[in-house]
Structure 1
Amino acid sequence: MAGEKVTSQDVAKLAGVSQSAVSRVFTPGASASKRTVEKVRRAAAELGYRPNVLARSLITGRSRIIGLVVAYLENQFYPEAVERLSVALQEKGYHVLVFMAAPTVGDIDGVMQEILDYQVDGIVLASVSMSSSLASQCHSFGIPVVLFNRDQDDDRLSSVTTNNFAGGRALAEHLASIGRSRIAYLAGFEEASTQRDREAGFREGLAAAGQDLFARGVGNFEHAATRDATRRMFDRAEHPDAVFACNDHMAFATMDVLRFELGLSVPGDVAVVGFDDVPLAAWPAYDLTTFRQRVNRMVAETVTTLIDRIEGGERTARRIRIDGMLVERGSTRRKTGE
């Protein structure tokens, strides 16, 4: 059929099926038997047929695209989450389109316009800085939104998070239990709910152990900023003997400065803990004690919540908090001689 446009009718005729069967095979989320799928795809390949998915989305009013807004991928937690979200959504017949937003407050209008241009069916919002304004705008346009790994004081919006408060408290209790008494905290981006809740839990855990926070710095969830904050925090005669960095990405930066710039032993001189339990945390180079986020459960709850909004018309916002767990490794232990 060289020079002629191949149609779905041509494919149906060659495959020996109905035109509606061809349509089902090439419609994400639609059902067709394995035998039908094989016959249709074989015929399509032989004829050189390529379905116009975009045109079909105009007819159905559904793009089958989910927008995923992230701030940065340097932190290992997010590439892992993006991969698992993509796989889980593809299994539901959707595809993920990633929108990159600035790590700090950026061009919200530009990102919003992109999302609207692609007519996404829903949004998973994992950006640190843009959650508040962008989520509200998307909601006002009727686009289902789920906040991933962060929360917001807006009853209209669904969110899936770890119990960050409980995680912060567990880390404080752990550091106090191993005899650390000059315990410091390195904060993430101040406006992030993850930062706020982890610090609040950490401070409560210290208070329960009869301790106050010894020192505080701000790493802003950034590697370079955390290194600078660590240097300032330890530029004193009596320095901390333990540090909780608000996520693993920051904890790695802190450990590098302590060991390779300041000549301090981890955990001999300083115990270090993080939050997330990204793959690198288990590597011997860091062997980081951290609070594990259960990424598989977070992804499953996020996908279920979003699909229920898109396909089931669910309107009640869900606030889902998933329990994590403390993972003890070699970056913490009782101080020598105690």
Structure 2
Amino acid sequence: MANRRSGRVNARDVARAAGVSQSAVSRTFTPGASIAAETRQRVIAAARELGYRPNAFARSLITRRSRMVGLVLADLDNPFYARMLEAVSRELQAAGHHVMLFFTDRGEADDALQEILQYPVAGLLMASATLSSALARECAEAGIPVVLVNRDVPDAPTVSVTADNEAGGAAVGDFLARAGHQRVAFIAGDPEASTSRDREHGFREALARHGLTCHARAVGNYTREGAREAARTLFRVNAPPDAVFVANDYMAFAVMDTLRGELGLRVPEDVSVVGYDDVTQAAWGAYNLTTVTQPTDTMVSTAVTALLDSIRDGAPGRERRVIAGELVVRRSSRCPQNR
């Protein structure tokens, strides 16, 4: 009991109290390890009696294997990433891993990652943040696998998991053209982000197939105020758009608020608005936003599985996995006569 009172209970004390080996104690507290049910119960009972808590950080120093995964985010204002954070945390915890959450500015996250790599992380998941090809190679050389979620870095030794952004953008362009719109605009997110670029490319290609060009373009930088200013720029002109595709739902909400509350326009009677992501708020009565789904749970499950496989196999690799979404039509847009 002296050890318990002093707070210095260790695995050897638990093993002695339970009448088992020290390795049996280690296996008891290692997720997925093989151990007999009776032995496990004896170890847990002894640990509870002694007040023992395993030290995961110390174990990682001994085994040189960490069960910590770094999750890098640049944007929690967007409800899409808040949902992704929850899903990633649940998936990793179910697999016996622990999440270290890091925030970085939008754009490349190299400065933040240099600090992150000082911790004994087994791998990195990056969402709404992008690393350079050079740092991706540095991670690979250090044996730290990296999986990008909703981002892609060409030629970098990483796995990326994205929605089919080009196909989603094309679906929007085709839908708005078939609805009879002639002056269709686009509000980009971060111009350097692969998500915004791919959505815009698919969108423009689809318009071209209908003999249309993008009527106007503005940049919202994936922020609410940026989207509001983009809407003012596009619609305070003599020939404003009759439809606008916004690179994500978070900005589309701000655009709709500006069009209706500030510019006195009706949605969709005066202008159709389409977003991207299909976050929960898109179906709310205030917006009823036509949008393209991003299958968050499937993307997260795919990304986590890819990361854990890489951690287990010790092979970071390079692969791009694309998950299909679909256009969800609601009341923020005019519909084609023959859908």
TM-score band by shorter chain is over 0.9
The offset of 1:65, in angstroms, is 0.6
- Alignment pair present for 1:77 and 2:72: no
Contact 2:147 2:161 in 1 (8 A): yes
1:324 counterpart residue number: 325
1:202 counterpart residue number: 203
Following the alignment from structure 2 to structure 1, what is the Cα–Cα distance between the partners of residues 276 and 41?
46
Counterpart residue identity of residue 65, structure 1: M
Contact 2:168 2:202 in 1 (8 A): yes
Give aligned pairs, total: 334
Return 5+ residue gaps in structure 1 as ranges. Answer: none
Equivalent residue runs for 1:1-338 within 5 Å: 1-2=1-2, 3-4=5-6, 5-33=8-36, 36-105=39-108, 108-109=110-111, 111-130=112-131, 132=133, 134-334=135-335
Quote the RMSD (CA, aligned, Å).
2.0
Contact 1:227 1:254 in 2 (8 A): yes
Following the alignment from structure 1 to structure 2, what is the Cα–Cα distance between the partners of residues 133 and 249?
31
Following the alignment from structure 1 to structure 2, what is the Cα–Cα distance between the partners of residues 25 and 310?
22
Following the alignment from structure 1 to structure 2, what is the Cα–Cα distance between the partners of residues 252 and 120?
37
3-state secondary structure, aligned to 1:276: coil
The offset of 1:85, in angstroms, is 1.0
When residues 145 and 184 of structure 1 are mapped into structure 2, their CA distance, relative to the original with a 3 A threshold, is same
Tell me the alpha carbon deviations over residues 62-118 of structure 1, each in whole angstroms, 9 at most, x when there is no partner. Answer: 121111111110001111111111111112211111110112456x33x12322221
Counterpart residue identity of residue 57, structure 1: S
Contact 1:186 1:219 in 2 (8 A): yes
3-state secondary structure, aligned to 2:61: helix
Q: TM-score, normalised by structure 1?
A: 0.92
3-state secondary structure, aligned to 1:275: coil
The offset of 1:10, in angstroms, is 2.8
Q: TM-score, normalised by structure 2?
A: 0.92
Following the alignment from structure 1 to structure 2, what is the Cα–Cα distance between the partners of residues 146 and 251?
28
Counterpart residue identity of residue 219, structure 2: V
Percent identity of paired positions between Structure 1 and Structure 2: 53
When residues 98 and 12 of structure 1 are mapped into structure 2, their CA distance, relative to the original with a 3 A threshold, is same
Contact 2:173 2:203 in 1 (8 A): yes
The offset of 1:38, in angstroms, is 4.2
